[in-house]
Structure 1
Amino acid sequence: MTDFDIAATVLVRTEGSLGRLSLNRPKAINALDIDMIGQITAALDAWRDDTDIDIVLIDGEGERGLCAGGDVRALYDQITAGHPERAAEFFRAEYALNLMIAEYPKMVVAIADGITMGGGIGLAGHAHIRIVTERSRLAMPETRIGFTPDVGGTYLLGRAPGRLGEYLGLTGSTMSASDAVYAGFADHYVPSQRIDELREALGKRADPSSPSELVLLFDETPEPAALANERAWIDEVFSADTVGEIAQRLATRSEVSASATAVLLSELAPTGLAVTLDAVREAREGNLRDALIGEYRRVMWFAGHHPDLAEGIRAQLVDKDRSPRWQPATIAELKPDAGAGARAFVPERPLFDRG
């Protein structure tokens, strides 16, 4: 095993043929900052052509989760200080890393044990082998702060069964391990008590066994997915053309969960809901790179041209009054093309300089 700095925010080490990247901010549930993104990117660059490394493992220190997301408080400070271009630096670095993981020439294994949300989905959701445990809680909760899913989340949401993508994207609902596998956010369920054994096996694997074959030795069948039982009404409701029509359909449903969803949507930022609905549907076409480009247009529109993102962070994390003042305030006030402005926005600098 290589030596590493235990005080680092990302522990970079090698264990046999395994390159291991462990997020190391457990008190913050390993929330990502731009320095951590840089460390992960640098390690992946170094291991790309290293013949001693066959597999890369991404996990998190502590028992609370892989990663709770990005540093949205820093984003709030940048926006309110009038420096959205600084936010652009973070998003550009993060999205480039998301794409790098997806396209990496070596097998990337991610263990989404515990809380894995937002930026954590960007790390784990695009890995080649995605593992969850009984402690896993996955979500793209951006609409809770008046925002929209990013880090390639719309790509995953757009490929979920039926209309689960729209449902999960708009509500920000949390998925269990079973739900994550069912919705296409994870591949394998491994009990948390066997994770250390799995890590060791990946580092000491003997050819010709592949990482996928090794993981299958630890894989178990999770409990039935709760989302599967909700599919009928979700598919009917969330196939509607607009957020307003979704709200109208919810009002006609008798299911308790549908009624709860109606209440939830009425509390969230209408603009964020409209932008998210448009984003998930756009991301159904094209590849991950296309989805990231679409997300970048939308997040930079929010960062520099719409007040709801800063207001949502203020209400949830700064003043913590839980009383955001959305613009517009209600779904009924949304214009029919409410998501069009964010879709058409052209950032000053493109996400990817070429292509």
Structure 2
Amino acid sequence: MIIKENLSKSVAALTLNRAESLNALNRPLIHSLQTHLKDLENDQNIMAIVLKSSISKAFCAGGDIIEVCQDIRHNKVSEAHQFFKEEYGLHILLRGMKTPVIAVAEGFSIGGGLGLLNSCAYRIVTETSQVSMPEALIGFFPDVGASNYLSASEFGLFLGLSSQRIKAADILLCNLADYYIPSQSIKELLNFLSTVASENFTQLLQQKLKYLDQKENLKPGPLTENKKFIREVCSAKNIENFDKQLHLYKGEDPWILKAIENFNYSSKHSLKFIFKQLKQKRDWLGNAKKLFDKEYKMATYFVKHPDLLEGVRALLEDKDKKPSWKEKSYQQIVISEEIFN
């Protein structure tokens, strides 16, 4: 599941290799990644770790939520809880590492895949990169650190509620990556890492990344093109008002129209929760341990709600795209502030 190789005496590469599931993180893959990261962190010769995918189509499709739902259906709720505990533990490890991890996120980074990218020290996207947090479509919530990195962006609320995909220009606009390096230059970066001297390593690495970075050549994406409308929608004081403002759209931009389609499909319970999750700044957002403790609390809350099983069934298992959500209106939904405190 993980291919480990030494690019040089001072740089190692870990390649996600669960291609059949687009590198979706199940517990064995999480365990393997944690073990390799800990071993490399303890190796005094290793100055940096490259994290990449064995396939160009996807960096990581997120947590394996189908396996989680299978556990829930078989009354193995403790196993479902354990999955989230271990997944979030991986992110606490990544964020606390002294050895920097360089993520090369070609292709899709979905849900927990975007979280994986954002827990790394250096975050690289290419012309093939696409990211999204589509949890509302399956009756869940944006986790793996999204409480922090989505609430920190002026567009994060819109992304969390619309489940819409964005590409390199908008990924960088939302501060969800640091560098745009065309795919043809990734090999040059890896060759550099295989030969760079360990002396002044960090300085040389940063200089190379800056040299290869082509973000100035990117054309603005749909977030920039629609920022006036998005800002108006996101100024809403509650989910009901957000819903109303969103549906006032009179334009023809297919990206916005798809965002509205996604929103209309989504679990109203998830939408109301996500609005509360991302709209308010919270004092625990800047502390990794507290952040993932809170998100674990949120995840166990969602495990008990029927929309998660139904959402996964409709979109990922039966794929009929006809979910029967528990609540049909926002007024039926009560979400306690205690969950966030």
Same fold (TM over 0.5): yes
Could you tell me which residue of structure 1 aligns to residue 230 of structure 2?
234
| Structure 1 stretch displaced more, 256-265 or 211-220 | 256-265
Deviation, structure 1 residue 134: 0.3
State the AA in 1 paired with 2:297. Answer: R
- 8 Å contact kept, 2:56–2:107: yes
Structure 1 window deviating more from structure 2 (314-323 vs 50-59): it is: 314-323
CA distance in 1, matches of 2:214, 2:225: 21
Match for residue 253 of structure 1? 249
CA deviation after TM superposition for structure 1 residue 192, in Å: 0.6
**Match for residue 169 of structure 1 among 160, 167, 172:** 160
How many Å separate the matches in 1 of 2:338 and 2:182?
41
What is the CA distance between 1:263 and its match in structure 2? 3.9
- Deviation for aligned residue 1:308: 0.3
Is 1:46 aligned to residue 44 of structure 2?
no
Which runs of structure 2 are paired with 1:77-226 in the superposition (5 Å)? 77-160=70-153, 162=154, 164-206=155-197, 207-208=199-200, 209-221=203-215, 222-226=218-222
Contact 1:154–1:283 (8 Å) recurs in 2: no
Who is 2:300 aligned against?
Answer: 300
Name the CA shift for 1:342/1:20 in 2 (closer, same or farther; >3 Å).
farther
Q: Does the alignment pair 1:14 with 2:10?
A: no
C-alpha separation in 2, matches of 1:203 and 1:39: 24
Identity fraction in percent:
29
Moved more, 248-257 or 305-314: 248-257
Whether the 8 Å CA contact 1:279–1:295 is kept in 2: the answer is: no
8 Å Cα contact 1:159/1:284 also seen in 2: no
Gaps of 5+ in 1: 1-8, 346-355
Distance in 1, Cα, partners of 2:103 & 2:282: 24
Q: What's the offset of the Cα at 1:306?
A: 1.0
Which residue does the alignment assign to 1:244? Answer: 240
Deviation track 1:313-333 (CA, whole Å, cap 9, x = no partner) reads 1111222221101110244x4
C-alpha contact (below 8 Å) 2:163/2:262 kept by paired residues: no
Task: Report if the CA contact (8 A) 2:136-2:266 is conserved.
Answer: yes
- Correspondence list, 1:340-351, <5 A: 340=336, 343=339
| Structure 1 vs Structure 2 CA RMSD | 1.9
Q: Does 1:317 align with 2:311?
A: no
- What is the deviation of 1:39? 1.1
Q: Distance in 1 between matches of 2:340 and 2:180?
A: 39
TM-score under structure 2 normalisation? Answer: 0.91
SS at match of 1:256: coil
- Distance, in Å, in 1 between the alignment partners of 2:338 and 2:107 is 33
> Are the counterparts in 2 of residues 301 and 342 from structure 1 also a CA contact under 8 Å?
no
Whether the 8 Å contact between 1:31 and 1:69 is mirrored in structure 2 is: yes
| TM-score (norm. length: structure 1) | 0.88
Alignment partner for residue 269 of structure 2, among 271, 287, 308?
Answer: 271
Unaligned runs of 5+ in 2: none
Separation in 2, partners of 1:60, 1:20: 10
**Contact 2:164–2:258 at 8 Å: present in 1 too?**
no
